[in-house]
């Protein structure tokens, strides 16, 4: 069976073509088509154990068991310590992973938006192997859930990819990320795997509804990346299996909705933890500490923040700061691993302030009765720099295409923001803008493309 697979930074979705060639999303959680891109394991070795068990009997099993032999040796003792039964994996994905993390933030291994890390530069071989295992565990479960719903075996897929997983690493980062996803998909049992730029997928979905040819600038603001594709589309182009000549330009960078959430948390919540305060000497508090706390999509900064050395440093600093009660909150975040919960409040603030004038953020995970009232103005100030970068991506795509678009097609979780539309309008001029299905356009386009190339 053929499916489109959006392994997104924020959510995952699978689509198939139903009767009448209509895209139908597959239920991946109870009553939900979009599964949050999150994983929680009671111990990180249980991710390896899960993949090893799923691979039993496959052609890939022996090579995997040999490669992970040293890690798998310790699994029986870990399972005994955690009191796991024979049928318990100690691993959850999606909403269940988020709930487990909120209940036990200090006791397990939690990762949100793992795709954001796949193109990171400087990863050691063992880190790449672990990201392969994380992606494998998630894709295995997602594929299994889809097959249970469809009552059919899925064999062929097109997976969405950003234009650039991480701009700093260039094509080397892109290839590293593609290799991780390909390895995971093959382990999960996909026979054929292809990749398609996510903004192009959204454009293909839009094209199926066009009655005349248009030059379309697709702006896709995902959870981890922002991507632009300038595409010629319409009845004259639809149905071609090779579209390279129709794609006039692509731009993209590792800047997405997660970064807007992080910016909201940093600018609005970190002052409660000592940002912008001073040491007793009068010197300002180092900003780096607070970026480390918030940058949940940066493996190195988070590792530095949660290191034992940083914990000791924060405790020592309590004697030297002018407002130790505020720094104590940052220490609480560090000791209890609360970064994801703090940034989640930034995300909820961003979502609410897209339509409301103010929002009361709950930060009682740090301290009882700790709240912060944030306004639309606070949101605008926090995300201004990010919106400027997105507008520059769009302008670069237009410049590279050497022509003006007839329409701008917006998709992605943050594409509905009035601030984004206003910024694009100011930067690019009065070009008509249309909103697609902010979450479903990419999956629909991937599904249609998959059936076009495999059928």
Tell me the pLDDT tens digit for each residue of 72-112.
999 999 999 999 999 899 999 999 999 998 888 888 899 98
CA distance 171 to 168: 9
pLDDT for the residue 20: 63
- The domain tally of the chain equals 3
Note whether 50 and 126 are same-domain residues: yes
Note whether 29 and 169 are same-domain residues: yes
Tell me the pLDDT tens digit for each residue of 128-152.
999 999 999 999 999 999 999 999 9
Note whether 350 and 238 are same-domain residues: no
What does the pLDDT average to over 317-330? 96
Tell me the pLDDT tens digit for each residue of 205-229.
888 889 999 999 999 998 888 999 9
pTM: 0.85
341 touches 260 (CB < 8 A): no
Cα 170 → chain centroid? 19
Proportion of the chain above pLDDT 70, given as a percent: 99
Tokens 């940093």 found at:
266
Where do runs of H (alpha helix) occur along 115-272?
125-150, 170-188, 198-207, 257-269
pLDDT for the residue 169: 65
Note whether 297 and 148 are same-domain residues: no
The candidate with the shortest Cα–Cα distance to 326, out of 265, 278, 375, 264, is 278
> Residue 367: which pLDDT band, with cuts at 50, 70 and 90?
very high
DSSP for 129-174, please give it. Answer: HHHHHHHHHHHHHHHHHHHHHHTS---EEEEEE-S-S-GGGHHHHH
CA distance 354 to 205: 25
Please say which residue of 351, 382, 413 terminates a domain. Answer: 382
CA distance 267 to 275: 9
CA distance 320 to 37: 40
Containing structural domain, residue 302: 258-382
Note whether 164 and 22 are same-domain residues: yes
Note whether 38 and 167 are same-domain residues: yes
pLDDT for the residue 168: 65
Tell me the pLDDT tens digit for each residue of 379-424.
999 999 999 999 999 999 999 999 999 999 999 888 888 899 999 9
Instruction: State the chain's mean pLDDT as an integer.
Output: 93
């Amino acid at each position: 069976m053929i499916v489109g697979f959006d392994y997104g930074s924020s959510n995952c979705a699978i689509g198939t073509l139903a009767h009448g060639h209509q895209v139908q999303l597959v239920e991946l959680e109870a009553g939900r088509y979009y599964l949050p891109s999150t994983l929680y394991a009671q111990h990180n070795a249980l991710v390896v154990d899960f993949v090893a068990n799923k691979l039993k009997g496959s052609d890939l099993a022996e090579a995997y068991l040999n490669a992970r032999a040293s890690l798998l040796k310790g699994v029986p003792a870990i399972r005994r310590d955690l009191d796991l039964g024979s049928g318990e994996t100690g691993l959850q994905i999606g909403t269940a992973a988020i709930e487990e993390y909120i209940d036990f933030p200090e006791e397990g291994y939690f990762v949100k938006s793992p795709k954001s890390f796949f193109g990171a530069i400087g990863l050691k071989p063992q880190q790449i192997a672990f990201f392969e295992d994380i992606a494998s565990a998630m894709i295995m479960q997602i594929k299994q859930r889809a097959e249970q719903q469809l009552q059919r075996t899925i064999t062929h897929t097109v997976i969405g990819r950003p234009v650039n997983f991480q701009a700093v690493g260039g094509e080397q980062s892109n290839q590293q990320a593609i290799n991780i996803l390909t390895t995971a998909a093959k382990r999960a049992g996909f026979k054929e795997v292809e990749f398609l730029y996510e903004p192009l997928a959204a454009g293909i979905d839009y094209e199926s509804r066009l009655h005349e040819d248009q030059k379309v600038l697709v702006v896709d603001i995902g959870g981890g990346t922002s991507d632009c594709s300038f595409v010629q589309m319409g009845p004259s182009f639809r149905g071609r299996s090779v579209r390279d000549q129709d794609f006039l330009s692509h731009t993209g960078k590792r800047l997405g909705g997660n970064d807007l959430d992080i910016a909201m948390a940093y600018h609005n919540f970190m002052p409660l933890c000592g940002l912008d305060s001073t040491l007793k000497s009068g010197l300002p508090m180092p900003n780096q500490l607070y970026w480390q706390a918030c940058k949940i999509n940066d493996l190195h900064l988070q590792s530095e923040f949660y290191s034992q050395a940083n914990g000791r440093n924060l405790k020592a600093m309590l004697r030297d700061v002018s407002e130790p009660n505020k720094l104590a909150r940052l220490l609480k975040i560090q000791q209890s691993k609360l970064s994801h919960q703090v940034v989640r409040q930034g995300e909820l603030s961003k979502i609410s302030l897209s339509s409301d004038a103010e929002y009361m953020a709950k930060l009682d995970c740090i301290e009882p009765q700790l709240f912060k009232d944030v306004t639309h103005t606070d949101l605008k100030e926090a995300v201004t720099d990010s919106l400027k970068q997105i507008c520059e991506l769009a302008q670069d795509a237009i410049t590279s295409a050497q022509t003006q678009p007839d329409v701008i097609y917006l998709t992605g979780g943050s594409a509905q923001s009035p601030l984004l539309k206003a910024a694009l309008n100011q930067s690019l001029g009065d070009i008509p803008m249309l909103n697609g299905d902010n979450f479903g356009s990419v999956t629909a386009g991937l599904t249609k493309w998959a059936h076009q190339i495999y059928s």
